[in-house]
Amino acid sequence: MYQYPRHDTEPAHPERDDERDHEADEGHLMADTTLVARPTLGRIALGAAVGAAIALGVDALLVAAFDAILRVDPHVPLQPGSTIDLVAVDPVQLAWAVVPSAIGAGVVYGVLSRLTARPGRAFVVVAAIVFLLFLGGPASLPIPASEKAALVVLHLATAISIVAAILALARPSR
């Protein structure tokens, strides 16, 4: 075996060099074959479903609380000329708002878990950006500030419920 010239004062020890080369090769091999645990589609779907269920429950309670706090008759428009009745939210409306958000969040987490080494952190960043973008809806409505605040709280409760459930349940098992 050819030995490279040494630049230090130690005598050459071929058996030590072979051990070092072997250790370096093993380390390189291990770095190339490290497996990363990824969440399964079932765990991501479960996280999204549980998040949607929690969000629906929390939102229903918040709507009832806002109805009592704001003392708005749910059968009367909120202000003259308004075509939007935000307090009179029925369960179907709530489901149509929450379930697609949970499905979308699950898809985003699934994609991020395949593309990044830290999908949880990336998912929280994406969720925060999406949440801020969704605040444009309530801000642009021609309604009083109290109803805008109620909508922001509903959006926040939905986002926290879905993100927390996906992060908790979609975590890969080790």
Query: What are the pLDDT digits (tens) for 41-96?
Result: 888 888 889 999 998 888 888 887 877 776 654 444 555 555 445 555 677 888 88
Would you say the C-alpha torsion 73, 74, 77, 82 has a positive or negative sign? positive
Residues 127-143 have a mean pLDDT of 89
Please list, in sequence order, all residues whose beta carbon lies within 8 angstroms of the beta carbon of residue 75, skipping any fewer than 6 positions away.
88
| Residue ranges per structural domain of the chain | 41-169
Average pLDDT over the chain reads 76
Name the residue type at position 13.
Answer: H
Distance between CA 151 and CA 102 in Å, rounded?
18
